[in-house]
Amino acid sequence: MKAEILAALRDAQGYVSGQELCERLGVSRTAVWKGIQKLRAEGYQIKAVSNKGYLLVESPDLLNGEELKSRCKTVWAGREVVYFDVTDSTNIQAKRLAEEGWPHGTLVVAGRQKAGRGRRGRAWESPENTGIFMTLLLRPELLPKQASMLTIVAAMAVAKAVRESCGLAAGIKWPNDIVLNGRKICGILTEMNTEIDTINYVVIGIGINVSNKHFAEDAAAIATSIALEGGKNISRAALIWEVWRQFEAYYDSFCASGNLSGIRQEYNACLVNRNRQVRVLDPKEPFTGIARGIADHGELMVETDQGIEPVSSGEVSVRGLYGYV
Amino acid sequence: MKAEILAALRDAQGYVSGQELCERLGVSRTAVWKGIQKLRAEGYQIKAVSNKGYLLVESPDLLNGEELKSRCKTVWAGREVVYFDVTDSTNIQAKRLAEEGWPHGTLVVAGRQKAGRGRRGRAWESPENTGIFMTLLLRPELLPKQASMLTIVAAMAVAKAVRESCGLAAGIKWPNDIVLNGRKICGILTEMNTEIDTINYVVIGIGINVSNKHFAEDAAAIATSIALEGGKNISRAALIWEVWRQFEAYYDSFCASGNLSGIRQEYNACLVNRNRQVRVLDPKEPFTGIARGIADHGELMVETDQGIEPVSSGEVSVRGLYGYV
């Protein structure tokens, strides 16, 4: 009920009358009034004027089931939302839901994570009310070897959402870190369950530093937040849906071609390593070259004296020669 | 305590005295006697003769934690055993334990499965006390693309164990079904959790039809059991450990070379499709050829007029032209 009232207030071009709310939701004026009171108690500023009705003046940066559902603006990504105030990690919960049969497009969001982590088991700071911690469950018709492209699709969606919603020139560090001024604001952890030859499901975990004011000492040199970089104030719920709205568009393009040809150009334009010297930590023989951007399947093309070398994620690490990126 | 008494009785070359049991286990004669009584209540036939001691005459085909632990004869595979009388499926439980951090080598065994399944979600009949339903958790240092070889290693281990323990000429239908006289006695379901480039864990689920006397109508044409094929009577617990003993040896060979070169010849000798016509259901263009055996990375080499075509599991299905294999 609260979610429906919120959505109606947001849709309105100004005041919405109590009568209109009653009709739209099929409930009594008393029920509408009670819903409004509950929303006010949660921090929403809702003005009530006789003969005009209700006006949503300001929303707190709340993250909960109602807030999320009332703001949904996607077709399928997040059609089921599972929200936790606190959980171990949204990837762990999404994998659990996947095993229980939850559908393609299920979105898990948490207010705080107790065991958030990044790639290769690295810890990911997940303090309360400062960041976005979420995981989307996908059941794509792909071969396991194609799934690495999904993480590129997700990185592109986050970069675009941050650029458009926060007015910041978010860049991408290949393959899937989002950076601002050389420091990381977003990490993506893609995991999948496969049989030998087929994907059962993929979970894409995304952590975004939104309003963090400081980081622990070891993280401070490599991490930043949207707030610290002076980004436009945006509620986490709004940014969450902007990410998935962008994701749906890029995902459609990816599914139509089966590769990244429709995304590559835009991705490469965001790539902070592009046309810069990188060191490829190939376990066999490390080498240095100039990063030229990704190819259609997500490999980083590195130019050396011997020609262009395609580099796959994970068999190698890529580091810029100067600083974090 | 029961497990230790059982192990001591099995180790003995004949009678073992009560005094010896007391000393070995560090308990009183009364405690030993109580343990013997409990084992008898479970169906073990244990003879007791004055001045000689105890003799294990016959073991029932029991499957439980004590029985399994008392029979262990592996180095690392099954060093932790988690037993369920009934569970949904041993793969589901093994994945759950993996997420909780259980170690490489953890073995999950069930007396019965309520939701057993084979590859691509096909159901797997899992009636009580007739079969082996088990899953081994591995945390191998492999790339995701190398993991398909593990299922070949497991298939080889089951075929060898059935041959040696039951005296039956078990064959392999590529990649990982074990067959007797053209019907299936064992299916293997390998699943893994990976990040884009690294394996977090692999679970290898193995279902073996041991003493089934009949199958449901739709399964009867393609399934059989060790008992129906006249195999030597073997307890399920003994066969379980024989499988993992063989697995450890093949796994060592696999890890040493990083491929199947040390196993290939023996595997190909068991391959029922070998030198027979097969139809490769390649989604692009199905074709027919002669199966010549696997290559070092597990691909089936199919000879056609155009030459040898390597076939990867999953992108295609392979069917014999006549009957199930």
Calculate mean pLDDT across residues A134-163.
Answer: 94
Nearest to A261 by CA among A234, A239, A285, A293: A293
- Residue B250, pLDDT > 70, answer yes
Taking the CA of residue B71 as centre, how many other CA atoms within 13 Å lie in the half-sphere pointing to its CB?
Answer: 21
- Residue A73, pLDDT > 80, answer yes
CA distance A128 to chain B (A): 24
- Residue B280, pLDDT > 80, answer yes
Query: Does residue B284 sit at the A interface (CB-CB below 8 Å)?
Result: no
Per-residue pLDDT of A16-52, as tens digits, reads 998 899 998 899 989 999 999 999 988 888 999 988 9
Calculate mean pLDDT across residues A274-292.
Answer: 87
Give domain B2-58's CATH architecture. Answer: Orthogonal Bundle (1.10)
Query: Does residue B192 sit at the A interface (CB-CB below 8 Å)?
Result: yes
Q: Do domains A2-58 and A274-320 have the same CATH topology?
A: no
Contact partners, residue A264, CB within 8 Å, separation at least 6: A293, A294, A295, A296
- Of A193, A198, A315, nearest to B120 by CB-CB distance is A198
Per-residue pLDDT of B78-131, as tens digits, reads 999 999 999 999 999 999 999 999 999 999 999 999 888 877 667 777 777 789
Report domain extents, chain A: 2-58, 65-269, 274-320
Nearest to B281 by CA among B300, B307, B260, B296: B300
B322 falls in which pLDDT band (50, 70, 90)? very low
- Residue A315, pLDDT > 50, answer no
CA distance A26 to chain B (A): 43
Kindly tell me the sign of the dihedral angle through the C-alpha atoms of A82, A88, A92, A98: negative
Q: How far apart are CA B103 and CA A185, in angstroms?
A: 33
For B93, name the nearest residue in chain A, comparing CA atoms only: A99
Q: How far apart are CA B222 and CA A191, in angstroms?
A: 35
- Portion of chain B with pLDDT greater than 70, in percent: 95
| A143 neighbourhood in chain B, CB within 8 Å | 314-315
Query: Tell me, what's the pLDDT at B120?
Result: 65
| B315 neighbourhood in chain A, CB within 8 Å | 143, 197
Computed over every residue of chain B, the mean pLDDT equals 89
A321 falls in which pLDDT band (50, 70, 90)? very low
Nearest to B3 by CA among B97, B30, B11, B132: B11
Contact partners, residue B28, CB within 8 Å, separation at least 6: B22
Within 10 angstroms of residue B218's Cβ, the number of other Cβ atoms is 9
| B175 neighbourhood in chain A, CB within 8 Å | 196
Q: Do B143 and A315 touch (CB under 8 A)?
A: yes
Query: Does residue A147 sit at the B interface (CB-CB below 8 Å)?
Result: yes
- Strand, coil or helix: A294: strand
Query: Does residue B151 sit at the A interface (CB-CB below 8 Å)?
Result: yes
Contact partners, residue B256, CB within 8 Å, separation at least 6: B262
Q: Do B197 and A143 touch (CB under 8 A)?
A: no
* Structure-model confidence comparison of residues A69 and A104, the more confident one: A104
- Residue A181, pLDDT > 80, answer yes
Query: Does residue A89 sit at the B interface (CB-CB below 8 Å)?
Result: no
- Residue B209, pLDDT > 60, answer yes
For B142, name the nearest residue in chain A, comparing CA atoms only: A315
| CA B126 to each of CA B118, B173, B244: distance values in angstroms, whole numbers, following the listed order | 11, 21, 20
| B117 neighbourhood in chain A, CB within 8 Å | none
Tell me if A241 sits within 8 A of A165, measured CB to CB: no
Query: Tell me, what's the pLDDT at B264?
Result: 97
- Residue B194, pLDDT > 90, answer yes
**Given the structure tokens 């109602």, which residue do they identify?**
A66
Query: Does residue B312 sit at the A interface (CB-CB below 8 Å)?
Result: yes
A120 falls in which pLDDT band (50, 70, 90)? low
CATH number at B273-320: 2.30.30.100
Maximum mean pLDDT: which of A16-20, A245-249, B182-186: A245-249
- Portion of chain A with pLDDT greater than 90, in percent: 58
- Of B96, B192, B196, nearest to A313 by CB-CB distance is B196
* Structure-model confidence comparison of residues A91 and B284, the more confident one: A91
Q: How far apart are CA B285 and CA B305, in angstroms?
A: 15
**Given the structure tokens 């599972």, which residue do they identify?**
A82
A116-120, A192-196, A296-300, B277-281: which has the minimum mean pLDDT? A116-120
Give domain B65-269's CATH architecture. Answer: 2-Layer Sandwich (3.30)
Q: How far apart are CA B23 and CA B263, in angstroms?
A: 44
Phi and psi of B87, rounded to 5°? -150, 175
Computed over every residue of chain A, the mean pLDDT equals 89
A274 falls in which pLDDT band (50, 70, 90)? very high
Tell me if B109 sits within 8 A of B134, measured CB to CB: yes
B324 falls in which pLDDT band (50, 70, 90)? very low
- Residue A215, pLDDT > 70, answer yes
Calculate mean pLDDT across residues B257-264.
Answer: 95
Phi and psi of B69, rounded to 5°? -65, -35
SS (H, E, C) B192-223: EEEECCCEEEEEEEEEEECCCCCCCHHHHCCE
Q: Do A190 and B195 touch (CB under 8 A)?
A: yes
Calculate mean pLDDT across residues A279-297.
Answer: 88
For B198, name the nearest residue in chain A, comparing CA atoms only: A314
Per-residue pLDDT of B127-146, as tens digits, reads 777 899 999 999 999 888 88
Tell me if B238 sits within 8 A of B63, measured CB to CB: no
Calculate mean pLDDT across residues A65-71.
Answer: 85
Q: Do A195 and B191 touch (CB under 8 A)?
A: yes
Calculate mean pLDDT across residues A266-289.
Answer: 88
Per-residue pLDDT of B139-166, as tens digits, reads 999 888 888 899 999 999 999 999 999 9
Query: Tell me, what's the pLDDT at A324?
Result: 40
- Of A190, A196, A312, nearest to B314 by CB-CB distance is A196
A121 falls in which pLDDT band (50, 70, 90)? low
Amino acid at site A99: E
- Strand, coil or helix: A125: coil
SS (H, E, C) chain B: CHHHHHHHHHHCCCCECHHHHHHHHCCCHHHHHHHHHHHHHCCCEEEEECCCEEEEEECCCCCCHHHHHHHCCCCCCCCEEEEEEEECCHHHHHHHHHHCCCCCCEEEEEEEECCCECHHHCECCCCCCCEEEEEEEECCCCCHHHCHHHHHHHHHHHHHHHHHHHCCCCEEECCCEEEECCEEEEEEEEEEEEECCCEEEEEEEEEEECCCCCCCHHHHCCECCCCCCCCCCCCHHHHHHHHHHHHHHHHHHHHHHCCCCCCHHHHHHHECCCCCEEEECCCCCCEEEEEEEECCCCCEEEEECCEEEEECECCECEEECCCCC
Paired sense of beta strands B300-304 and B307-311, if any: antiparallel
Q: How far apart are CA A16 and CA A25, in angstroms?
A: 13
- Residue A134, pLDDT > 90, answer yes
Give domain A274-320's CATH architecture. Answer: Roll (2.30)
Q: How far apart are CA A185 and CA A176, in angstroms?
A: 11
